[in-house]
């Protein structure tokens, strides 16, 4: 039987549940761990939707977030007209739950029972229901984060545009997006 995740809208009352949230030791894993603990509530106050995901044992497995991009993007090509898109500011899976549950793996993202796939399905379902004329969902990913890139690609995300270089850290991120069927 599948271990189904339950999304819970994140708020200040749930902050104790993410104390010590740990996606792993690599820089691209530390970033979402820090974000959910230190910046999620500020993002919610500005309109971002954030969810925690609980498994059937009432353990926090991960989180996701979704917001309207602050700028219109030329999508799907650099010569396309600028369109409104949603953005995934951060997404994280606790390190002990990566690749789990192993018994639920399939090659089809619509039936794959892994926690990461369940989170992506919930996130994209919410993107499809978002009000307004959103054309796509976009995100930035560290190119060294191979597992995340594989997950995004399973759900139809593809690279677009030039990489984004974060001015404060100097880290370059690849841009990925998936078209929202309307």
Tens-level pLDDT at each residue, the chain (182 residues)? 468 999 999 999 999 999 999 999 999 999 999 999 999 999 999 999 999 999 999 999 999 999 999 888 888 888 899 999 999 999 999 999 998 888 777 877 888 889 999 999 999 999 999 988 899 999 999 999 999 999 999 999 999 888 999 888 888 999 999 999 76
Q: How far is CA 37 from the centre of its chain?
A: 16
pLDDT at position 2: 67
Structural domain boundaries enclosing 21? 6-179
The structural domain count of the chain equals 1
Structure token digits, residue 41: 């509530």
pLDDT at position 112: 84
pLDDT at position 1: 44
* Residue 1 falls inside a structural domain: no
Would you say 47 and 164 are in contact if contact means Cβ atoms under 8 Å apart? Answer: no
What are the C-alpha distances in Å from 140 to residues 80, 89, 92? Answer: 20, 8, 13
* Residue 120 falls inside a structural domain: yes
pTM for this entry: 0.93
Would you say 160 and 175 are in contact if contact means Cβ atoms under 8 Å apart? Answer: yes
Which are the contacts of 33, defined by CB distance < 8 A and separation ≥ 6?
21, 22, 23, 92
Q: What are phi and psi of 158, to 5 degrees?
A: -140, 155
How long, in residues, is the chain? 182
Instruction: Give strand pairing partners of 158.
Output: 177
Count other C-beta atoms under 10 Å from residue 32's C-beta.
23
* Residue 80 falls inside a structural domain: yes
CATH number reported for the structural domain that contains residue 43 in this entry? 3.40.630.30
* Residue 132 falls inside a structural domain: yes
Scan for tokens 């993007």, then name that residue: 73
């Amino acid at each position: 039987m599948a271990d189904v995740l339950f999304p819970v809208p994140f708020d200040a009352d749930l902050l104790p549940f993410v104390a010590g949230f740990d996606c792993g030791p690599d820089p691209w894993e530390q970033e979402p761990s820090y974000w959910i603990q230190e910046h999620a509530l500020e993002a919610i106050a500005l309109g971002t939707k954030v969810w925690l995901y609980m498994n059937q044992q009432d353990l926090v497995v991960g989180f996701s977030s979704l917001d309207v991009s602050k700028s219109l993007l030329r999508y799907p090509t650099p010569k396309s007209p600028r369109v409104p898109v949603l953005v995934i500011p951060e997404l994280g899976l606790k390190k002990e739950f990566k690749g789990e549950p192993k018994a639920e793996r399939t090659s089809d993202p619509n039936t794959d029972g892994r926690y990461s796939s369940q989170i992506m399905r919930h996130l994209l379902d919410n993107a499809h229901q978002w009000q307004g004329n959103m054309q796509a969902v976009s995100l930035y990913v560290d190119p060294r984060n191979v597992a995340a890139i594989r997950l995004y690609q399973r759900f139809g995300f593809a690279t677009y545009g030039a990489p984004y270089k974060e001015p404060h850290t100097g880290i370059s991120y690849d841009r990925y997006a998936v078209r929202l069927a309307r």
